[in-house]
């Protein structure tokens, strides 16, 4: 059996940004297969900002890093998973995995298998297999369901997106444009802002590090904001709320600005009256709560890609030894679109 390489948490991260000292690459001998098990070799690994939260709240030293991946079955003692089969699942930052593919997880009332086939929609498209981690993976379906089902978007509305060049944000912006919305994006990098505007056709894009949010909203959203999809949180969040229209919808996907200071209470203006007087809806979003809508999302996302309306953007890093640095660079704003490591 092959030797596995697996990344584990070396040192607990209470606050601040992850550093190389927090990661340890272990060598482990893979175990012989028992009946019903399969051995998978990782091909592509998804790198996700949410892992930063796990390092503080959900992991202890020695715990393996979580992460979704595309893998190939290389040995099998399961009749439904023959050698050579490609699968996708949450198998972590490692080169090999020995698993029982029949394991089912209960996620928000939905029975979700530990591993599954790649989306069937890939069979009839020119999309790369790695789309299963991006546009046809958790980022893509999160973008679709949060905008269409959670926020109930309508054509002609103004949609504001924080972290607009991120793995989810750049898809939300494109979908909103397809549906006839005015889209305003925010990012912390001028190159990303240029990419969003020139390559993806986002109406107005601003660098929140160098441009005042209040001033930019007068340009990008002169008639107010109908939908705000937020992955940043903090003071940025409150500034957008101030410009929300009557019965506006705010969907919170994350809080990047708070990841490195998890115990700090953000200092933001009181917004209770804005929420009440404008009859705003503020909602958190959990993709697993909406798992029954994934098939619809995959079908529509695939159609838009095939029609040329939705662009796929992936950035690739090579080698399992480079996963932590890719993750650190991602949190630092180096990449845009979907970040993937080829193992």
* CA nearest to 121, candidates 304, 316, 287, 290: 304
- The answer to whether residues 160 and 225 touch, using CB atoms and an 8 Å cutoff, is yes
Query: Cα–Cα–Cα angle for 246, 251, 253, nearest 5°?
Result: 160
What does the pLDDT read at residue 237? 83
Q: Which domains does the chain have, with CATH numbers?
A: 3-134+312-342 (3.90.180.10), 139-287 (3.40.50.720)
* CA nearest to 182, candidates 152, 236, 222, 211: 222
Q: What is the pTM of this model?
A: 0.94
DSSP-derived pairing of the beta strands 314-318 and 38-46: unpaired
Q: How does pLDDT run along the chain (343 residues), one tens digit per residue? A: 899 999 999 999 988 999 999 999 999 999 899 999 999 999 999 999 999 999 999 999 999 999 999 999 999 999 999 999 999 999 999 999 999 999 999 999 999 999 999 999 999 899 999 999 999 999 999 999 999 999 999 999 999 999 999 999 999 999 999 999 999 999 999 999 999 999 999 999 999 999 999 999 999 999 999 999 999 887 788 889 889 999 999 999 988 767 777 555 555 445 678 889 999 999 999 999 999 999 999 999 999 999 999 999 999 999 999 999 999 999 999 999 999 999 9
Question: What whole-number distance in Å separates Cα of residue 235 and Cα of residue 16?
Answer: 18
- The answer to whether residues 202 and 216 touch, using CB atoms and an 8 Å cutoff, is no
Handedness of CA 81, 85, 88, 91 (dihedral sign): positive
Handedness of CA 172, 66, 7, 13 (dihedral sign): positive
Q: What token pair was written down for 284?
A: 């958190």
What does the pLDDT read at residue 264? 56
Burial of 318 (0-12, 13-18, 19+ CB in 10 A): exposed
Question: What whole-number distance in Å separates Cα of residue 256 and Cα of residue 258?
Answer: 5
What does the pLDDT read at residue 117? 96
What does the pLDDT read at residue 263? 55
Other CB atoms within a 10 A radius of the CB of residue 278 amount to: 17
DSSP-derived pairing of the beta strands 314-318 and 338-342: parallel
What does the pLDDT read at residue 68? 98
Question: What whole-number distance in Å separates Cα of residue 177 and Cα of residue 273?
Answer: 31
Question: What whole-number distance in Å separates Cα of residue 122 and Cα of residue 185?
Answer: 29
* CA nearest to 75, candidates 96, 103, 91: 96
Question: What whole-number distance in Å separates Cα of residue 39 and Cα of residue 343?
Answer: 16
How much of the chain is in helix, strand and coil states, percent to nearest 5? 30, 30, 40
Q: Mind giving me the DSSP string for 100-144?
A: -TT-EEEETTEEEESEEEPPGGGGGSS--GGGGGTTTSHHHHHHH
What does the pLDDT read at residue 254? 87
Which residue(s) pair with 250 in the sheet?
228, 282
Residue carrying the six token digits 């056709």: 201
- The answer to whether residues 87 and 118 touch, using CB atoms and an 8 Å cutoff, is yes
- The answer to whether residues 251 and 146 touch, using CB atoms and an 8 Å cutoff, is yes
Residues 6+ apart with CB under 8 A from 11: 21, 22, 61
């Amino acid at each position: 059996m092959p030797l596995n390489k697996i990344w584990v948490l070396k040192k607990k991260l209470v606050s601040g940004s992850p550093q190389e000292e927090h990661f340890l690459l272990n060598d482990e001998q893979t175990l012989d297969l028992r009946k019903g098990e399969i051995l998978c070799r990782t091909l592509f690994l998804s790198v996700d900002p949410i892992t930063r939260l796990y390092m503080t709240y959900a992991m202890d030293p020695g715990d393996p890093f979580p992460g979704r991946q595309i893998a190939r079955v290389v040995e099998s003692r399961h009749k439904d998973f023959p050698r050579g089969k490609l699968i996708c699942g949450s198998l972590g930052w490692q080169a090999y995995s020995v698993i029982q593919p029949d394991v089912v997880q209960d996620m928000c009332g939905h029975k979700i298998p530990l591993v599954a086939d790649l989306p069937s929609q890939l069979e009839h498209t020119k999309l790369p297999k790695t789309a299963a981690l991006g546009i046809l993976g958790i980022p893509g379906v999160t973008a679709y369901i949060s905008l269409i089902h959670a926020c109930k978007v309508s054509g002609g509305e103004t949609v504001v997106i924080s972290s607009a060049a991120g793995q989810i944000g750049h898809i939300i912006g494109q979908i909103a444009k397809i549906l006839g919305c005015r889209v305003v994006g925010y990012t912390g990098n001028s190159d990303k802002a240029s990419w969003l505007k020139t390559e993806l056709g986002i109406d107005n894009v601003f660098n929140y590090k160098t441009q005042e949010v209040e001033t930019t909203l007068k340009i990008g959203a002169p008639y107010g904001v109908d939908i705000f999809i937020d992955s940043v949180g903090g003071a940025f969040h409150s500034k957008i709320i101030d410009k929300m229209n009557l019965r506006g919808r705010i969907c919170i996907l994350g809080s990047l600005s708070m990841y490195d200071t998890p115990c700090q209470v953000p200092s933001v203006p009181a917004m209770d009256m804005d929420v009440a007087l404008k009859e705003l809806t503020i909602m958190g979003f959990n993709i697993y709560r909406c798992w029954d809508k994934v098939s619809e999302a995959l079908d529509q996302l695939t159609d838009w890609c095939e029609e040329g309306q939705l662009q796929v953007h992936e950035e690739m890093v090579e080698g399992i030894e480079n996963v932590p640095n890719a993750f650190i660079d991602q949190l630092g704003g180096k990449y845009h679109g979907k970040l993937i490591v080829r193992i």
